């Protein structure tokens, strides 16, 4: 038993995305981001959709694939310190419902952004590059892999 720890999970990062209302809160946050961007007078609708997609994917990349460790004291003897949040999610089990949700959500946002930008070449390239930066690290083959030693420590 850990003194001063108020949770029952060994690592709360593993189950936080499955908590009640998390997916709805996530979707509402993305929706609010889009509404805020639409309310800026000098942004057109295609620019607002592209910015929504790029900002969402940048945030998803940073919080799920770049930041390592856990803000909680865990009794796993430092194993979580070397893993990103995506690698800790659902104890590393692939193809769970939360992993599927967080894989499909940027794809849906990409389709929406592509549709509302009318497949303009510049927006399409930006949205595609942004999508690939969050989909490639989610592949099961890249679980725990550090390409070129980036984010190794």
Mean pLDDT by groups of 10 residues along the chain of 153 residues: 58 78 94 97 96 97 88 72 85 89 96 96 97 94 78 71
pLDDT for the residue numbered 106:
97
Q: Are 18 and 98 in contact (CB under 8 A)?
A: yes
| Residue 29, domain member (yes or no) | no
List all residues 6 or more positions away from 30 whose beta carbon is below 8 Å from its beta carbon: 52, 56, 105, 109
Start-to-end CA distance of the chain, whole Å, equals 28
Number of domains the chain is built from: 1
- Determine the structural domain holding residue 115 and report its residue range: 45-142
| Residue 87, domain member (yes or no) | yes
| Residue 21, domain member (yes or no) | no
CA angle 103, 113, 89 (to 5 degrees): 15
| Residue 59, domain member (yes or no) | yes
| Residue 118, domain member (yes or no) | yes
CA angle 136, 139, 145 (to 5 degrees): 85
Coil, strand or helix: which one is 68?
strand
Distance CA 70, CA 13 (A): 7
Cα torsion 131, 136, 138, 142 to 10°: value is: -170
Q: Are 80 and 137 in contact (CB under 8 A)?
A: no
| Residue 110, domain member (yes or no) | yes
Q: Are 67 and 118 in contact (CB under 8 A)?
A: no
| Residue 100, domain member (yes or no) | yes
pLDDT for the residue numbered 19:
82
| Residue 81, domain member (yes or no) | yes
- Smallest CA-to-CA distance from 120 within 66, 39, 44 is with 44
Coil, strand or helix: which one is 5?
coil
> What pTM was computed for the model?
0.87
């Amino acid at each position: 038993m850990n003194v001063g720890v108020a949770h029952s999970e060994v690592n709360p990062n593993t189950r936080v995305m499955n908590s009640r209302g998390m997916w709805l809160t996530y979707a509402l946050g993305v929706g609010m981001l889009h509404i805020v961007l639409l309310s800026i007078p000098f942004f057109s609708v295609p620019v607002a959709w592209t910015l929504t997609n790029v900002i969402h994917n940048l945030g998803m990349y940073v919080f799920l694939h770049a930041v390592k460790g856990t803000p909680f004291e865990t009794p796993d003897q430092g194993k979580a310190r070397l893993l990103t949040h995506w690698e800790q999610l659902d104890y590393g089990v692939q193809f769970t419902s939360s992993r599927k949700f967080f894989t499909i959500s940027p794809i849906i946002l990409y389709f929406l952004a592509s549709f509302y930008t009318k497949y303009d070449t510049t927006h399409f390239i930006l949205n595609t590059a942004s999508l690939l930066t969050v989909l490639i690290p989610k592949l099961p083959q890249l679980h725990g892999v550090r390409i070129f030693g980036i984010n190794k420590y």
